Amino acid sequence: MKNILEAPFMIEMKRITENMYRLGWDERNAGNISYLLTEKEAEAYLDLNVCVRTFPLSIDAKALAGKTFIVTGTGKYFKNVQHEPEENLGIVRISDDGKSTRLLWGFSGGGSPTSEFSVHLMCHSARLKANPANRIIMHAHPTNLLAMTFVHSIDEKEFTRTLWQLCIEGIVVFPEGIAVLPWMLCGTNEIAEATAKKMDEHRLVMWAQHGVFGAGNTFDEAFGLIETAEKAAETHIKTMHVPRINIPTDAQIAALAEKWNVNYRKDWLS
C-alpha cells in the first residue's frame, strides 16, 4: 500500500490550506475543506475496513453511504496542516445507513471532523447531483467578500452584478452568480439545508457576515472560484468611497460571457 503522506490529494490539501491561511482567509481555526476521494484513490492508500473511531452524524447522509472523504478537523488551524497532517486532517467513510462515519486515518490527537461537516456532506450531495465531477467543498472567510455583506445589499442579483462589474473574469468564472444567505446560526442543520439548497444551482454561497462556501472539481478550481470573487469584492471595497467613472456596461459584461460561451444568468443583467 502506498504512503498516504505522498498521495496527490494529501499534497494538495496541505498546499491549499497553507495558502488560504497565508492569505488571511482562515484565521485561527476558521475554515474547513472536504474532498471526496474516488474508490481508486482510497484503495491505493488505505485499508477501507479499518475503523479507528466512529463519529455520529447529525444528518441523514445515506445518499453518501460508502463515500470516503479527507476533511479538516474541528478546532484545527490551517497553518498546522502542512507540518502535522495526521493530527489536523482525517479520512472518514460514511456508514451504510448514513448515520455515522468511520475514521480510517488521521485525527491522531483525538480530533474529529470539522463542526460544519454536516454542511459539507449536504453540499456534496447537492453538487454531485448537479455535476458528478464536483468533489471539493471549501469554506473560508475572505476579508473583502465578508466586508461586502456588511455594506452592500445581499440581494443575490445585486451582489453578483457588482462582482461581475468589478472583475473582468467574474462572469466567466461564476456565470451562474453567487448565492447569498442572510445571517444564520452556523453549525446547525438549518444553515446546512439552506446552503445545500443554494448549491443545487450555485458553486458559490455567501453566508452574510460570516464567510463563503465554494465547490469545484479540483482544489485549484474551488480555490480559484473564491479567489476571483474575492478580487472583485476587494475592488468594490477599495473604490466604494469614490465616484466610479469607468464601469463595464451590462452589454460589455454579456459580450464577455458570449465570447467564452458560458451559460450565465441573463436575467441578472439589466
Q: Degrees (nearest 5) of the Cα angle 30, 138, 19?
A: 70
C-alpha cell belonging to residue 234: 476587494
Q: Is 27 a catalytic residue?
A: no
Catalytic annotation, pick one of 12, 116, 230, 234: 116
Residue type, position 129, single letter:
K
C-alpha cell belonging to residue 104: 480510517
Q: What is the CA radius of gyration of the chain?
A: 19
Contact 42, 78 (CB under 8 A): no
Q: Which residues does residue 68 pair with via DSSP β-bridges, in sequence order?
A: 37, 93
Q: Of 155, 46, 147, nearest to 90 (Cα)?
A: 46
**Residues 204-243: b if buried by 16+ CB within 10 A, e if exposed:** bbbbbebbbbbbbebbebbbebbbbbbbbbbbbbeeeeee
Count of alpha carbons within 13 angstroms of residue 187, beta-carbon side: 6
C-alpha cell belonging to residue 188: 446547525
CA-to-CA distance for 270 and 186, rounded, in angstroms?
34
Contact 95, 62 (CB under 8 A): no
Q: Which residues does residue 179 pair with via DSSP β-bridges, in sequence order?
A: 205
Q: What is residue 188's three-state secondary structure? A: coil
Active site residues: 116
